[in-house]
Amino acid sequence: MTGRGEAVAFTQVDWARRQFIAKLGIDPFPGTVNLIIDDPEELAKWSEIKVLPGIIIVSPQSDWCNGRCYRVNIVGEIAGAIVLPEVPDYPAAQVEVIAAIGVRDALGIVDGDSLTIALLKAEPGDA
């Protein structure tokens, strides 16, 4: 799903980009891949994942929110991370994924296509 374009700015903000590189090892391609979970079973799994601590991206500015990240593998071949903005009204079924490459172009996906991501086990030092 094409988002509102806000993630392009967020992934390139100096403080966020530095933390993505340092904490996740990902120099993010501008923007995210927005996914909507439409399967009830997968939505239940996502709800369970969201309570895990994840890797925190801390905003030094009050006008930006913090985010929690979870390492993922996209279609078994691209390292990435889910970025969950810590805002109260964030859509329950929405998932935003960053990677070092343009995932849409690399995989040839368009709005409405399915995309498989696999949560990776937390590494020592993740928090």
Q: What are the extents of the domains in the chain?
A: 6-119
Q: Which fold has domain 6-119?
A: Elongation Factor Tu (Ef-tu); domain 3 (2.40.30)
Listed as own residue / partner, the contacts of 17-26 with beta carbons closer than 8 Å and 24 or more positions apart are: 19/57, 19/58, 20/57, 20/69, 20/81, 20/98, 23/55, 23/57, 23/69, 23/126, 24/55, 24/69, 24/71, 24/81, 24/98, 25/79, 26/79, 26/80, 26/81, 26/98, 26/99, 26/100
Q: pLDDT band for 3, please (50, 70, 90 cuts).
A: very low
pTM of this structure: 0.88
pLDDT at 61: 82
Residue 3: which of 45, 31, 38, 39 has the closest Cα? 31
Q: For the segment 7-62, what is each residue's pLDDT rounded down to a tens digit?
A: 556 788 899 999 999 999 999 999 889 999 999 999 999 999 999 999 999 999 88
